[in-house]
Amino acid sequence: MTWIHVESPGTLEATALAERFGFHELDIEDVLSKRQRPKIDEYPEYLFSVLHFPKYDKQVQRLNAAELDLFLGPDFLITLPNVELLPVSRLFARCQNDDEFRENLFSKGSGHVLYRVLDELFDYCFPILDKIGFKLDAIEDEMFEGRSEEIVRDISNAKQEVIAYRKIIKPERSTVRLLDRYTQRFLPEDLDVYFDDIVDTTERVWDLLDNYKEVVEALESTNESVISHKQNDVLRMLTLIATIMLPLTLVTGLFGMNVLFPGEGSGTAFWVVIGLMGAVFAGSLGFFRWKRWL
């Protein structure tokens, strides 16, 4: 049993592997290409598969798809990720350093080694999902603390992460189901149920993503409602102020006309007008309070 693991393989490594194991030239093309969709190609001697897994890119601060190309034969497994996938690197390093662990793992065949690789990779998906869940919980808490305008960008970023994650996992589901069927010839009979566990894990990841999609859409809708409610409060206050000022403006306009009226030119008339305006103001406030508009 041989396991070969090469990160970011180039033309030299891919050509050497093709010459040693007799891989088809189209498979080598797929390995060297920048992006391939998840798929499985079956040959009499081996299987070739392309899988995608989520990986957070710290440089651009976004969730991207990491590609894993793999060849599976009766006595070999070759894993060729285009970027470092920590679960695979750690499992490979453990096989290098622990002879007993390697012997126990390899003794069950290449199909079982592939199962362990995929199991580690899909388990690694859940911490990323947990981070998204924590982020959504934090957004919900901040939404009702008066930061609804500031968290619009946070909601947008969380929504983008969920969409990116779904784009990675959606085509993966059908590929994993096919892989479950095609790998049976490389597994002992007592281990043929192992890949059912991978299929179940994929479905759990998808169910969580569906849940997060609904949550982020609900948060977005709720945040828009909160912002709209605040804007309505502002508009209501401005409308009340304008409504109160309207009769006062009418009173001042009437007594500001250049016509004779009782008490014109006297200080008493001025205070009568001021009192009338005060009464209109108090009456308007009382009316709005009675209607519960204020």
For residue 89, what is the domain's CATH number?
3.30.460.20
Q: Is residue 275 part of a domain?
A: yes
Q: Select, from the ranges 31-35, 121-125, 246-250, 258-262, the one with the highest average predicted confidence (pLDDT).
A: 121-125
Question: Which residue segment(s) compose the domain that 61 sits in?
Answer: 2-229
Element (H, E) at 62: strand 62-72
| Contact status, residue 186 vs residue 109, Cβ threshold 8 Å | yes
Across the strands, what pairs with 39?
Answer: 50
Q: Is residue 234 part of a domain?
A: no
Q: Is the pLDDT of residue 145 over 90?
A: no
Q: Is the pLDDT of residue 229 over 80?
A: no
Q: b/e for 206-234, b at 16 or more Cβ within 10 A?
A: bebbeebeebbeebbebbeebeeeeeeee
Q: Domain ends where: 229, 248, 275?
A: 229
Q: Is the pLDDT of residue 227 over 80?
A: no
Q: Is residue 221 part of a domain?
A: yes
Three-state DSSP state, 106: helix
Are 50 and 191 within one domain? yes
- pLDDT for res 191: 65
Are 159 and 274 within one domain? no
Q: Is residue 45 part of a domain?
A: yes
Tokens of 53: 């897994």
Q: How many domains does the chain have?
A: 2
- Per-residue pLDDT tens digits for 32-74: 887 788 999 989 899 999 999 998 877 767 788 899 999 999 8
Cα separation of 262 and 294, whole Å? 36
Within 13 Å and on the Cβ side, how many CA atoms surround 50?
A: 21
Q: Is residue 151 part of a domain?
A: yes
Cα separation of 132 and 158, whole Å? 7
Are 219 and 266 within one domain? no
Q: Domain ends where: 185, 210, 229?
A: 229
